[in-house]
Amino acid sequence: MITIVFYILSAITLGTAFLTILSKNPIHSAIYLVLCFFSIAGHYLMFNAQFLAIVHIIVYSGAIMILMLFTIMLMNLNKEDERHKPILSRIAAVVSFCLVAFVLLATFIKAQPALREYKVSGQDYQSIQVLGKVLLNDYMVPFEFASVLLLVSMIGAVLLSKKEHINS
C-alpha cells in the first residue's frame, strides 16, 4: 500500500514539475509548482516527518509562492510587449542547459551510497528542537545560501521588470 502511494505521489511530483516548466502561462506554472510542493509534502508525511511537511506547506506553498506571484505580476508578462530574443541568446541558453544537465547526470551516475554503519544515539530526530539545532548548526551555510538565493532572484526579477525608457 505504501509503495502505491509513493508511486502516485512521485508521478504527481514529476508531472507537475514538468508542467511548471512547460506551461506557457506564468500563473499556471505557479499553480503547478504549488501542486508540486504539496506532493513533496506528501513525501515528507510518508517519511513520518509531519513537522517538515507542515513547514514545507506553510513556507513554500504559502510565503514563497506569494512572493513569486507578486514578482510575476510585477513583471507584467504580455505577449504583445515581449521582444523576441536574438538567436545567439537562445543558443547560449540551450548550451548552458545541456552543460548543467550533463554535470548533474554525471554526478548522479558517479554518486555512490555511503555504506557505513549507523550509530544509534538514542536521540529523537522527530523533535522540533533537535531539528532546529541540526538545521542551524550543521546546515547553517546551505540554509543561509538558500535565503540569499531567493533574495537575489527577487531582485533580479524586479530589475528585469523595469521599463526601459528610450530617449529619442
10-residue mean pLDDT profile of the chain (168 residues): values are: 93 94 85 91 89 86 77 66 73 91 88 73 71 82 85 79 61
Specify the fold of 1-79: Four Helix Bundle (Hemerythrin (Met), subunit A) (1.20.120)
pLDDT of residue 76: 65
Q: Which three cell numbers stand for residue 121?
A: 544515539
pLDDT of residue 80: 56
Query: Model pTM greater than 0.95?
Result: no
CB 46 within 8 A of CB 2: yes
Between vectors from CA 116 to CA 113 and to CA 120, what angle results, nearest 5°? 125
pLDDT of residue 77: 61
Cα–Cα distance, 54 to 38 (Å, whole number): 10
